[in-house]
Every structure is written in C-alpha cells, then in structure tokens.
Amino acid sequence: MTDSLKIDPSKIKSFIRRQGRATAGQELALQNHSEKFCLSPEQSYDFAQVFGRQAPLILEIGFGNGSSLADMAEANPDLNYIGIEVHRPGVGHLMMLLEQRNINNVRIYHHDAIEILEQKIPDNSLAGVHLFFPDPWQKRRHHKRRIVRPSFVELLHKKLASNGYFHAATDWAHYAKDMLGILSEAKLLQNSSPTGDYCPRPEYRPLTKFENRGLNLGHGVWDLIFRKP
C-alpha cells in the first residue's frame, strides 16, 4: 500500500499508540482511580454534572505524562479540565498526581482526541484547547499525520465558545511555521499575537524540565494562540 492510494485524511491517526510499560504506581492508579477520573468514550456526558459545577472548560490534547496538566489544574481551581491521551502509562501517571495532590478539576479520556472532539464535546462549549508539543512528524511523507490541518481548524471553530482560544506550542520551527500558515489561512480564528506570528509563553503554561533544558541549550519554542471571534 502506498501514500498514493485514496485515504480520507480526516481519519488518519495523528499518533502511534506507543503503550510502553506502566510502572507499579501507574498501574495501581489505573486500577484504583479510573472510575474517579476517566470518562468512557462510549458515553455522552453533561460536563457540568461530571464536575459538579458550571465552570470554563479547557481541553488538552496529548498531555503526555500529565505533569503540566496537573500543575495547571492545581493553579487554576476555578477551571475544569479534560485531558486526552492515548499513552496508557501517561494516563496512569496523571491519575497518580491528581490523587496525591487532591486535584479534583480534571477528567481524562484514554482515546483518540479527534473522535472525542467530534463526537463527545458539545459545539460552542470550550473555553480553550491546548496542544503542547505534539508529534512533529518530521519526515515529509508523514506531514499528513500532523494534527493541525484545515479540517482540525474547522473542528476547533465548531467546538470553541465565543472568545475561546486554541493554544499550541512546539519546539520544531518547521511545524510552528506550518501551524501558523494553516491557522492564518483558514481565517476562522484570530491570531492573538500583535506581530501576527507567535506569542510569548503565557504564565498558565508550565515550563517543563525538558523545555527548560532545551532553552538553556539555545533551542527555540514557539507558542501560537488563536481566538474564536
């Protein structure tokens, strides 16, 4: 099979399900805390009932090991967060952090983000969508697997509330330029950058150890923030 065969690009996965091996602590969290923190991709939810309150809803796509999401949720207890991640050990690690730190404003989908956005998130409901350091799919033939493409921007516009924002961050210059071009050309969301390109890192996005190490080595990081009018 070759890339020249007909493929629906909207159905191409933007990830590889690299499960890896969960640690004993992560496995214990998966066994003991999934009912508390995880949402079923087979069910539909009233998120106000899920969280027990009405609050702005922030969705993070691909939270990795969950450390940054836990930090954001702990620092912003007035916000509700939904994290989506396909990596099982990462889901376990986030649940460990939430339970250890008594953080109650996060719920998790262990599933494909596009399917959750399309099927389980109400239109005009999200105050923000975060996409921090997604897989850059460096090889040209793999660029079609990058999550930020025109169909994704249309989906964001549909799911974001008025004045809701999309915030992406990457340490790959080519991907940053690619995302900027796609988001700008769609003209559905407005760039928050006064210079029409990238934004300084907002205080709400934690500086990870990996990112800090890269910055100390002179590596760049690019933040893009676009809002729905």
Percent of the chain with pLDDT over 70: 89
In angstroms, the first-to-last Cα distance of the chain is 42
In sequence order, the 6+-apart residues with CB closer than 8 A to the CB of 66 are: 83, 85, 90, 91, 93, 94, 95, 97, 98
Q: Write down the pLDDT at residue 20.
A: 64
Is 5 contained in some domain?
Answer: no
Q: Higher pLDDT residue, 112 or 140? A: 112
- Please count the structural domains in the chain: 1
29 neighbors 93 (Cβ within 8 angstroms): yes
Q: How many CB atoms lie within 10 A of CB 168?
A: 23
Q: Higher pLDDT residue, 216 or 36? A: 36
8-state DSSP, 199: B
CATH for 37:
3.40.50.150
Q: What are the φ/ψ torsions at residue 35 (nearest 5 degrees)?
A: -65, -35
Residues in the chain: 229
Q: Which helix (H) or strand (E) holds 40?
A: none
Q: Write down the pLDDT at residue 139.
A: 66
Range of the domain at 161: 23-227
Is 61 contained in some domain?
Answer: yes
Is 172 contained in some domain?
Answer: yes
Is 6 contained in some domain?
Answer: no
Is 18 contained in some domain?
Answer: no
Residues labelled as active-site residues: 135
Is 15 contained in some domain?
Answer: no
With cut-offs at 50, 70 and 90, classify the pLDDT of residue 7. very low
Q: Higher pLDDT residue, 4 or 104? A: 104
Task: Reply yes or no on whether the pLDDT at 6 is more than 60.
Answer: no
DSSP track, 98-166: HHHTT--SEEEE-S-HHHHHHHHSPTT-EEEEEEES-----SGGGGGG-S-SHHHHHHHHHHEEEEEEE
Q: Write down the pLDDT at residue 196.
A: 97
pLDDT in tens, 45-68: 999 999 999 999 999 999 999 999
The SS3 call for residue 227 is strand
CA 24 to chain centre: 26
pTM of the model: 0.89
Is 16 contained in some domain?
Answer: no
With cut-offs at 50, 70 and 90, classify the pLDDT of residue 3. very low
User: For the chain, what is the mean pLDDT?
Assistant: 89
One-letter identity of residue 211:
E
Task: Reply yes or no on whether the pLDDT at 219 is more than 70.
Answer: yes
Is 14 contained in some domain?
Answer: no
With cut-offs at 50, 70 and 90, classify the pLDDT of residue 22. confident
Task: Reply yes or no on whether the pLDDT at 32 is more than 60.
Answer: yes
